Structure 1
């Protein structure tokens, strides 16, 4: 076969003008008014961040795509992508420690690689950490801790337990999960006095140099996502939080590159697959810019990402539709380059998930790896005119929000003075109104609700900490009015 063979040579080259003429004919049949110069604008839309979505995108030959594993890491943190699959993390928050342990072992035996343990308020009692991890091989299974205000004490207890079990330091992976700013966002309260900063930095230094495959800090942007933030608001707040943690660690003597290595970012993944893909790519691009401004050029500049399927998009009514939402969200997270993925069980909004829901949640990302083979391609969305344009626009908007937060005194100030809450509230109320009037569809709630549905019965789940930013679901008001509590 000749090297210069062009398979489309016998077909005429289509032009934008010809496409526009065909669009005009179709739009005219609909009766909609349109501009003769740009009839396609009838089909255009705008995201919640004000980013225009055009009907047609063409590849930009001037665009420098870069390469996976290289700055600005838009195309992925690693040159090889996730060729062996993603880290499938099972979330465990059962209030009964023995049940939590049984479920954790079942998760690990049934397809999960790692555990995400929610401890304290909203999860398993902190004192039962040893019970939850009984039988878990800490040199095999990765463990990420999520203990809120008690993260420091729980982190030290976890490392002490591993030391007692003589687990090799280098074999341990996961994260201690310290996130004091996240605690402030969720509860309205946090303690970052001088002694707290010293204790946090001391544990972070210990993890960085003794447990080289672990991380100590989590930038949990779910608190913003679950309050109704737009994608750019979520990224902007995450950037501001991450930068504050870099300051905290480096001011206590940690080298910049080591400080970057200690951070993991957690984002919400929604059923808007292209938005999810672009959000994760834009997050890496923006974080690479932070690294550049920090004069860091190395592998630790690549942002490590944990994507979690969106809580706000889940429904109590017709919960089976959540399986579809979770699958699309997981697909977007996979294609977007997340390092690890958690799919929330389809019945999570109803209470404590049952075994079937947990199994489907584990199997969803595994199916994308083993049967759909999504991991075989590195950055499959790279070069797409739409994805690249959306990534760039989202990165620009997120960076704008980040710089505004910084100019106002930083993330701590933005949370304590209410400015960030007000910004998110405006976006939240606009979207809730769209769901309420039906202009935004929620399948099974305001569109095609099942007649005479009886809600699934589940045991109540422990309430997460409150007092700060709200934790909402888009359909909750409509479900309440329909008796779906």
Structure 2
């Protein structure tokens, strides 16, 4: 190997952005430069290149540990001990959840996140139940976070259990989970109203600030919004708007913004867009610091306590093993974004209650990222990237604009009750569904590269019953609960229908793939069509090449397939499509589809009897749904 040093700076002189742009414009051959830009949900746009010029005259961000904490709330980042590996528990039975906690704490988990409630979590009814649930948790060194349908009651149960076990309240860490707007969004009701909720929370904030400084009383969770389809910009803006609402409400109840800010815990979902999610978490700390500073809070109070959880909306029931990759990417983004604690959801979360194996994979995902990939060894690894720094500023500006809109409506509570949040979510989900149905937003294992013969994963189902507070009062807030959605739901419904057809008929709905020309000529299009059909649960029966129309018609008749898809090179279509379609239409009940856009031949092909065309960019979900109806698939 040569030992001659490389002088890259001298050998490759610097190139300006203008020179790069001239070369790009040349390669685009008349296409607009905007064709290289990528649109993000929330109205943001990704550029193909970011450079020092994008930083402009912006002041370099403060180092980690310094307000406004864009680069993290710790001076050395998480290099000391890493982030908190936090596992989530929602098994209904106390004994089952307690055993899961014991196993996980023995094997590397360092924090416990408890979802509590009769319908959507662990059923803890009294202090004894809470004591049994936490029997294996050393409270003096293990942070415990609560997220509950009735947060005031469960917070009291945790404190009672602490006294019963003679644990020191001074050493408690975590969060009591008082999140009135989160409860309202999830359940549709806040039985005592918001002023009463703040009046009830105020003494809890005051007492925990004195007796348990490591325990935060209030929670701002974006779970309800992220699960219902919020964009990253909306999730960020609504989290800050909720935090601002809590600061004001607690101040009216006698708690200073300083103490209120120090008593708030934030929890964000992290979705599938890797770099934007990093920017979202960085922007969250920046915006919260600005909001607390405007309220009179000290620099120390401006530091956001930030928990991140891998998103539920991105997970699929079909080919659920792909969820392991999704959760790994989302956990990675949470680490790079500087989350203080992270929950990696088990890969079978969308199917039902996780088992020990899926919990093991979930916790080991974080342990590998920390102990083998050493992601905690660098403070703010994203810092200085022109791309991420600019994207962080873009997120902050867009979220601040949305925050101001929410404030103009009267705040987050008013936006929820008036239906504004639900309206925005409905618009977002509709736009996202359009991208999903056309596969501009592909879902691996579901709408893209589906596996029709996959072995199903069976789990105990979660309760789907909506939580409903028992009592109501004159100040009760009510709204329609936000409905959780998953991006894979539409195409999974087609697969579910295919499974029912299989159970009733002994085989799936079938399509005869009449591939024209040589293998080299039709393979690319035939494989694309086969994937589309499989995404709808339709079994593609491949046949490669025919000598003439009569032979093709005879083979198709023998197959018994009601649906026939003609696929091949465009040059063969004018001769083969009309003739073969005419022959097939003589066979009773035959449905004929053609792969690709028909162009100028559409009228002739339809006159010959072609029923539909399947092509990239079309509404493939609608096409497959239509085929289901024609094939008798319920």
Shorter-chain TM-score bucket reads: over 0.9
> 5+ unaligned residues in a row in structure 1: which ranges?
none
Decide whether the 8 Å contact of 1:233 with 1:424 is kept in 2: no
2:321 equivalent to 1:320: yes
SS at match of 2:307: strand
Aligned to 2:124: 126
Alignment partner, residue 180 of structure 1: 180
Q: Distance in 1 between matches of 2:356 and 2:274?
A: 27
Is residue 155–residue 176 contact of structure 1 (8 Å, CA) maintained in 2? yes
State the partner residue of 1:54.
47
How far is 1:222 from its partner?
1.4
Deviation at 1:273, TM superposition (A): 1.0
Deviation at 1:25, TM superposition (A): 4.6
Alignment of 1:200-215 (within 5 A): 200-215=201-216
Give the Å deviation of 1:170.
2.2
Measure, in 2, the Cα distance between the counterparts of 1:198 and 1:53.
Answer: 45
Name which of 461, 467, 474 aligns with 2:487. Answer: 474
Distance, in Å, in 2 between the alignment partners of 1:392 and 1:306 is 21
CA deviation after TM superposition for structure 1 residue 151, in Å: 0.9
Give the superposition deviation at 1:161.
Answer: 1.3
Tell me the matched-pair count: 472
CA deviation vs aligned residue, 1:434-460 (integer Å, no higher than 9, x gap): 112211111001100113223211111
Given the superposition, is the C-alpha separation of residues 288 and 464 from structure 1 closer, same or farther in structure 2, using an over 3 Å criterion?
farther
Counterpart pick for 1:77 among 49, 73, 78:
73
2:174–2:215 CA contact under 8 A, matched in 1: yes
TM-score w.r.t. length of structure 1: 0.94
Asked whether the 8 Å contact 1:188–1:416 carries over to 2, the reply is no
TM-score normalised by L of structure 2:
0.72
Following superposition, the deviation at residue 62 of structure 1 comes to 2.5
RMSD (Å) for aligned C-alpha atoms: 1.7
Question: Displacement of 1:258 after TM fit?
Answer: 1.4
Deviates more, 1:421-430 or 1:244-253: 244-253
CA 1:464/1:335 → structure 2, altered by over 3 Å: closer, same or farther?
farther
Q: Give the alignment of 1:251-400 within 5 angstroms.
A: 251-400=252-401
- Kindly state the Cα deviation for residue 194 of structure 1 after the two structures are TM-superposed: 4.7
Per-residue CA shift, 1:227-248, capped at 9, x if unaligned? 1111111111111110111112
Change (3 A) 1:306 1:193: closer
Give the alignment of 1:443-462 within 5 angstroms: 443-462=444-463
Shift of 1:388: 0.9
Post-superposition shift, 1:193?
A: 5.6
Quick one: structure 1 residues 53 and 464, their matched pair in 2 at CA, closer, same or farther if it must change by over 3 Å?
A: farther
What's 1:160 paired with?
Answer: 160
Following the alignment from structure 1 to structure 2, what is the Cα–Cα distance between the partners of residues 351 and 76?
A: 35
Cα distance, 1:244–1:464 mapped onto 2, change above 3 Å? farther
Q: Output the CA distance in 1 between the equivalents of 2:204 and 2:102.
A: 28
Pairing 1:112–2:103 present: no
Distance 1:52 1:195, change over 3 A: closer
Question: Is the 8 Å Cα contact of residues 201 and 248 (structure 1) preserved in structure 2?
Answer: no
| Separation (CA, whole Å) in 2 of partners of 1:437 and 1:11 | 43
Match for residue 68 of structure 1?
Answer: 64
**2: CA distance, partners of 1:317 / 1:434:** 19
Q: 1:94 aligns with which of 91, 107, 113?
A: 91
SS at match of 2:220: strand
1:211 Cα deviation after fit: 0.6
Name structure 2 gaps, 5 residues minimum.
1-5, 468-479, 500-634
Query: Greater CA radius of gyration, 1 or 2?
Result: 2
Measure the CA separation in 1 of the matches of 2:431 and 2:449: 23
- Higher RCO, Cα 8 Å, sep 6+: 1
